[in-house]
Amino acid sequence: MDAALTVLSTLKQSNPSLTTDEDDHPFTECANFADNIKGMGYSFQTHWHYVDQPYLSDGGSLEDYPLFVELPVNVVDALTDLTAFLKGEDMSSSTYITQIAAKFPDVADQKSFVLRLIIHYVGDIHQPLHATAEVNEEYPKGD
Protein backbone atom coordinates (compact mmCIF):
# COMPACT_ATOMS: atom_id res chain seq x y z
CA MET A 1 0.00 0.00 0.00
CA ASP A 2 2.87 2.36 0.78
CA ALA A 3 4.34 1.77 -2.68
CA ALA A 4 0.97 2.49 -4.32
CA LEU A 5 0.55 5.69 -2.31
CA THR A 6 4.04 6.77 -3.35
CA VAL A 7 3.17 6.21 -7.02
CA LEU A 8 -0.10 8.13 -6.62
CA SER A 9 1.62 11.08 -4.93
CA THR A 10 3.65 11.95 -8.03
CA LEU A 11 0.74 13.15 -10.18
CA LYS A 12 -0.86 14.89 -7.20
CA GLN A 13 2.32 16.97 -6.83
CA SER A 14 3.01 17.65 -10.52
CA ASN A 15 -0.61 18.11 -11.70
CA PRO A 16 -2.72 19.10 -8.70
CA SER A 17 -5.58 20.33 -10.91
CA LEU A 18 -6.19 16.71 -11.96
CA THR A 19 -6.36 15.38 -8.42
CA THR A 20 -8.60 17.91 -6.67
CA ASP A 21 -10.88 15.12 -5.36
CA GLU A 22 -7.99 13.52 -3.50
CA ASP A 23 -7.13 14.47 0.05
CA ASP A 24 -6.06 12.17 2.87
CA HIS A 25 -7.05 8.87 1.22
CA PRO A 26 -5.90 9.04 -2.41
CA PHE A 27 -6.08 5.30 -3.01
CA THR A 28 -9.85 5.32 -2.60
CA GLU A 29 -10.51 8.96 -3.45
CA CYS A 30 -9.03 8.54 -6.93
CA ALA A 31 -11.62 5.88 -7.83
CA ASN A 32 -13.64 8.36 -9.93
CA PHE A 33 -10.54 9.95 -11.48
CA ALA A 34 -10.91 8.45 -14.97
CA ASP A 35 -14.45 9.79 -15.30
CA ASN A 36 -13.61 13.21 -13.87
CA ILE A 37 -10.79 13.92 -16.33
CA LYS A 38 -12.70 13.15 -19.56
CA GLY A 39 -13.74 16.78 -19.94
CA MET A 40 -10.28 18.08 -19.04
CA GLY A 41 -8.50 17.01 -22.22
CA TYR A 42 -8.26 13.31 -21.40
CA SER A 43 -11.21 12.01 -23.42
CA PHE A 44 -8.81 9.75 -25.35
CA GLN A 45 -9.48 7.15 -22.64
CA THR A 46 -13.28 7.28 -22.92
CA HIS A 47 -13.60 3.92 -24.69
CA TRP A 48 -11.11 2.26 -22.34
CA HIS A 49 -13.75 1.97 -19.57
CA TYR A 50 -15.73 -0.93 -21.02
CA VAL A 51 -15.85 -3.81 -23.45
CA ASP A 52 -18.86 -4.36 -25.68
CA GLN A 53 -19.37 -8.11 -25.61
CA PRO A 54 -22.39 -8.47 -27.88
CA TYR A 55 -25.55 -9.86 -26.31
CA LEU A 56 -27.87 -10.86 -29.14
CA SER A 57 -31.19 -10.55 -27.32
CA ASP A 58 -33.21 -11.46 -30.43
CA GLY A 59 -30.98 -14.43 -31.22
CA GLY A 60 -29.19 -14.89 -34.49
CA SER A 61 -25.55 -14.16 -35.08
CA LEU A 62 -23.37 -11.10 -35.49
CA GLU A 63 -23.64 -11.47 -39.26
CA ASP A 64 -27.28 -10.40 -38.80
CA TYR A 65 -26.06 -7.06 -37.37
CA PRO A 66 -23.35 -5.66 -39.66
CA LEU A 67 -23.66 -2.22 -38.03
CA PHE A 68 -22.29 -3.57 -34.75
CA VAL A 69 -18.54 -2.99 -34.67
CA GLU A 70 -16.28 -3.88 -31.79
CA LEU A 71 -13.95 -1.04 -30.89
CA PRO A 72 -10.19 -1.54 -31.25
CA VAL A 73 -9.72 -0.50 -27.60
CA ASN A 74 -11.46 -1.81 -24.50
CA VAL A 75 -11.11 -2.20 -20.76
CA VAL A 76 -9.68 -5.73 -20.94
CA ASP A 77 -6.84 -4.74 -23.25
CA ALA A 78 -6.34 -1.48 -21.36
CA LEU A 79 -5.96 -3.26 -18.03
CA THR A 80 -3.60 -5.79 -19.58
CA ASP A 81 -1.31 -3.10 -21.00
CA LEU A 82 -1.55 -0.75 -18.02
CA THR A 83 -0.65 -3.45 -15.50
CA ALA A 84 2.21 -4.66 -17.71
CA PHE A 85 3.50 -1.09 -17.84
CA LEU A 86 3.43 -0.81 -14.04
CA LYS A 87 5.34 -4.11 -13.82
CA GLY A 88 8.11 -2.55 -15.90
CA GLU A 89 7.44 -4.35 -19.18
CA ASP A 90 8.23 -2.52 -22.41
CA MET A 91 4.86 -1.22 -23.54
CA SER A 92 6.18 1.44 -25.93
CA SER A 93 4.05 0.06 -28.77
CA SER A 94 0.84 0.00 -26.71
CA THR A 95 -1.79 2.45 -27.94
CA TYR A 96 -2.79 3.00 -24.31
CA ILE A 97 0.69 3.83 -23.05
CA THR A 98 1.66 5.96 -26.06
CA GLN A 99 -1.39 8.18 -25.55
CA ILE A 100 -0.61 8.57 -21.86
CA ALA A 101 3.07 9.28 -22.61
CA ALA A 102 2.01 12.01 -25.05
CA LYS A 103 0.29 13.80 -22.15
CA PHE A 104 2.90 13.04 -19.49
CA PRO A 105 6.52 12.90 -20.64
CA ASP A 106 7.71 12.04 -17.12
CA VAL A 107 7.57 8.28 -16.46
CA ALA A 108 6.71 8.77 -12.79
CA ASP A 109 3.67 10.85 -13.82
CA GLN A 110 2.74 8.18 -16.37
CA LYS A 111 2.79 5.51 -13.66
CA SER A 112 0.76 7.69 -11.32
CA PHE A 113 -1.83 8.33 -14.04
CA VAL A 114 -1.88 4.62 -14.98
CA LEU A 115 -2.44 3.47 -11.40
CA ARG A 116 -5.43 5.80 -11.10
CA LEU A 117 -6.88 4.40 -14.33
CA ILE A 118 -6.39 0.83 -13.12
CA ILE A 119 -8.18 1.57 -9.85
CA HIS A 120 -11.10 3.07 -11.77
CA TYR A 121 -11.29 0.42 -14.50
CA VAL A 122 -11.23 -2.47 -12.03
CA GLY A 123 -14.40 -0.95 -10.59
CA ASP A 124 -15.86 -0.48 -14.07
CA ILE A 125 -15.45 -4.12 -15.06
CA HIS A 126 -17.68 -5.12 -12.16
CA GLN A 127 -20.59 -3.17 -13.62
CA PRO A 128 -22.69 -5.26 -16.01
CA LEU A 129 -23.31 -2.37 -18.39
CA HIS A 130 -19.56 -1.97 -18.84
CA ALA A 131 -19.22 -5.54 -20.06
CA THR A 132 -21.90 -6.03 -22.69
CA ALA A 133 -23.85 -4.38 -25.48
CA GLU A 134 -27.36 -5.44 -26.33
CA VAL A 135 -27.57 -5.95 -30.07
CA ASN A 136 -30.97 -6.46 -31.68
CA GLU A 137 -33.35 -4.91 -34.23
CA GLU A 138 -33.84 -1.85 -31.99
CA TYR A 139 -30.09 -1.46 -31.33
CA PRO A 140 -28.29 -2.82 -34.40
CA LYS A 141 -25.11 -0.92 -33.40
CA GLY A 142 -25.43 -1.94 -29.75
CA ASP A 143 -27.12 -0.08 -26.94
Task: Convert the pLDDT of each residue in 130-143 to its tens digit.
Answer: 899 999 999 999 99
Residues 6+ away with beta carbon under 8 Å from 4: 27, 115
Domain range summary for the chain, segments of one domain joined by +? 2-135
pTM, whole model, 2 decimals? 0.92
pLDDT tens digits, one per residue of 65-91: 999 999 999 999 999 999 999 999 999
pLDDT tens digits, one per residue of 53-66: 999 999 999 999 99
Q: Is the pLDDT of residue 128 over 90?
A: no
